[in-house]
A and B are shown apart, each in its own frame.
Chain A
Amino acid sequence: AQSVTQLGSHVSVSEGALVLLRCNYSSSVPPYLFWYVQYPNQGLQLLLKYTSAATLVKGINGFEAEFKKSETSFHLTKPSAHMSDAAEYFCAVSDVQGAQKLVFGQGTRLTINP
Chain B
Amino acid sequence: DSGVTQTPKHLITATGQRVTLRCSPRSGDLSVYWYQQSLDQGLQFLIQYYNGEERAKGNILERFSAQQFPDLHSELNLSSLELGDSALYFCASSVGTSGGLVEQFFGPGTRLTVL
Chain A residues with a Cβ under 8 A of chain B = 31-32, 36, 41-46, 49, 51, 90, 94-107
Contacts and interface: CB of A to CB of B under 8 A. Distances in A.
B103 interface: yes
Given A43-B107, A45-B2, A97 B45 contact: no
Given A100-B94, A102-B45, A43 B4 contact: yes
Contact of A100 (B2, B4, B42, B102): B102
A101 B2 contact: no
Contact of A95 (B33, B58, B100, B104): B100
Given A32-B101, A95-B99, A106-B42, A101 B106 contact: no
In order of increasing CB-CB distance, the 10 nearest A-B pairs are A94-B100, A43-B106, A99-B56, A104-B43, A101-B45, A44-B106, A32-B100, A43-B108, A97-B99, A95-B100
A31 B99 CA distance: 10
B74 interface: no
28 contacts: A32-B100, A32-B101, A41-B108, A42-B108, A43-B4, A43-B107, A43-B108, A44-B92, A45-B2, A45-B106, A46-B103, A46-B104, A46-B105, A95-B99, A96-B101, A99-B48, A99-B56, A100-B48, A100-B55, A100-B100, A101-B33, A102-B33, A102-B45, A102-B104, A104-B42, A104-B44, A106-B42, A107-B42
A101 B35 CA distance: 9
Interface of B: 2, 4, 31, 33, 35, 42-45, 48, 55-56, 58, 90, 92, 94, 97-109
Contacts of B100: 31-32, 94-100
Contacts of A102: 33, 35, 45, 104
A43 B90 contact: yes
Contacts of A106: 42
